[in-house]
Amino acid sequence: MITSKSIDILLRGVRAEFAVTIDQAEKQLASYNSNVYLDATNKTGALFEEVGAYGKQREEAIQVTGVNELQPTEEAQEFIAADYVPSFITAVEPFLFTRRVKVTRQSAERRDTKYQKALNEAAKLQVAAENTRARHKFSRLNYAFSSIASVKHLFDYGDGVYLASASHPTKVVVSGSATVQSNLVTASDITPTSIESMILVLQNQTDDIGEPMPMGGGMKYFCVPPAKVKRAKENIESEWVVDAANNNVNVWRGVGWILVSSPFLSASNGGSNTAHFIIDAMFSPLKDVMFRAVTNETWFDQNVKTFVHDISFEHKVGAYDWRGLVCNAGA
């Protein structure tokens, strides 16, 4: 609880005439929003599409296939029947996230107006909410290779395997088609060869009845931790293959990349300093399902004469499919 004996004591009396107060929360949010590598996530929202499920107790998503290609038919032969089928069901239920700051009436009354902006509880809680949503979004990638059973803010696609898996089951087994598919490549560093292997995985993806569903042919997000930003830029922006003595042309330069990074992808924040991902920018499977918007409330507790600043929202972050995403644990 913020009282007149805690932080505000620094800003009273003689010291108030000389002190300069800097709000770290404001700097934190401003630096995050101005980060060039985060533009795609924070300003377009296409990497993690926000799904409005406001007021619902449960959100379910299901995909439906097309039909198989037309078949040769003899004259007077009955047309060959076809059908479309539903895919796996992804069910999402809300989880509540909250934070509270209490300020005694004495502290509020004695606070110098000169420092009110730096000590604005509602603004600080808003920054905390933005940070929470950002961490939750990128932690969906951090947990791509492992179970999320105990992670309250994430959900998986409904096929029963990890988001990054070599054994995504096909819902309907069609004669001659694969029974499982992969969106996982052999762990390796970022190189022209590893990028090619990831793009080929996207290009060779199929739907649940084995029909081609080539992803990654247009704009693509290249999602990397800060430790791999330099390596990623060398391999998607350099005119020539980096560190090659024979002047090979870099074929991946200028073919529709949006580089995205975040401190929440780093090992120090629960991620990895090597893992990287390529996501189709038109059909990203990643979703931020919002059940209740970020809500600020301020009220006065008469019992203890204290101002209470609350913030809360309900959401989960996950994937409605594995297609459109390819994962590399890195090296």
At 44 the pLDDT is 47
Distance CA 52, CA 54 (A): 6
pTM: 0.87
Distance CA 213, CA 281 (A): 15
By three-state DSSP, how is residue 12 classified? coil
Q: Which of 289, 288, 232, 227 is nearest to 262 (CA)?
A: 227
pLDDT tops 60 at residue 41: no
Using pLDDT thresholds of 50, 70 and 90, give the confidence band for residue 170: confident
Burial class of residue 18, CB neighbours in 10 A (0-12, 13-18, 19+): exposed
Distance CA 135, CA 265 (A): 8
At 314 the pLDDT is 98
Q: Give the residue with greater pLDDT, 207 vs 20.
A: 207
